[in-house]
Structure 1
């Protein structure tokens, strides 16, 4: 599953690189509804660097950025999970979809998701799934408008804030 690079008008989608890390984390920090405690504090950056290295080394993970005139304005992660259900279907999960606050409602999110779906299709995935925080009702409407359906109720268990 080789990563791809594509352009959509002035918007370019490409695999994230280590030098994009501060911009990517900045998107998380700027997300008022995120609530994940993300920070650009120098003391935390080694954790982000280690996580990025693992993602970039994984054959099942792809981290992309959306770039506009050289500026990172969006990011998302695409993870492939091989399952046995549905006759051994490959599943693609879209995670951590973020668009810069000053660039929202301009089609960047829709373009990123369309790119993710096409990448999943090229990789042979039979389904694309994503989760969204229950508080993000506007995002839920957006995902439904672009073809996603509500199908499952998600659960999570925090094991360790520092892990």
Structure 2
């Protein structure tokens, strides 16, 4: 994993090493010193079933703890039942529904 500072922001984006990005991605963005956001977790279909997603999430949770975050938020579309089940197995709980406004 490598950390990429966002210019002019208090947060950073963390991504897998370049060799892993072609197959698997995860982005963990620290929003504030107390809150972390996990987004864009993807494992290529051919690589599923090998605990890659589990390791990505474990790393992100560990990193949030290391940064002394008190809360982790993860956004997943309500129609992705298998992803929601996966996140539940890691201890994440449903908390609220999101809203969005496309600007394109």
Asked whether the 8 Å contact 1:63–1:75 carries over to 2, the reply is no
The match for 1:78 among 16, 24, 28 is: 28
**Post-superposition, which runs of at least 4 consecutive aligned residues in structure 1 deviate over 2 A?**
70-73
Spell out the pairing of 1:5-44 with structure 2 (5 A cutoff). 14-15=1-2
> 1:109 matched to which residue of 2?
53
> 1:28 matched to which residue of 2?
none
C-alpha distance in 1, partners of 2:73/2:92? 8
Spell out the pairing of 1:5-154 with structure 2 (5 A cutoff). 14-15=1-2, 56-58=4-6, 59-65=10-16, 70-72=19-21, 73-82=23-32, 90-154=34-98
TM-score scaled by structure 1?
Answer: 0.56
Larger Rg: 1
- Runs of 5+ unmatched residues, structure 2: none
1:135 Cα deviation from its structure 2 partner:
1.8
Greater share of helix: 1
- Aligned to 2:78, the other structure's residue is in SS state coil
- Runs of 5+ unmatched residues, structure 1: 1-13, 17-55, 83-88
Q: What CA RMSD, in Å, does the superposition of the two structures yield over aligned residues?
A: 1.9
1:134 Cα deviation from its structure 2 partner:
1.7
Asked whether the 8 Å contact 1:75–1:99 carries over to 2, the reply is yes
The structure-2 alpha-carbon separation of the partners of 1:143 and 1:71, relative to structure 1 and needing over 3 Å to count, comes to closer
TM-score scaled by structure 2?
Answer: 0.84
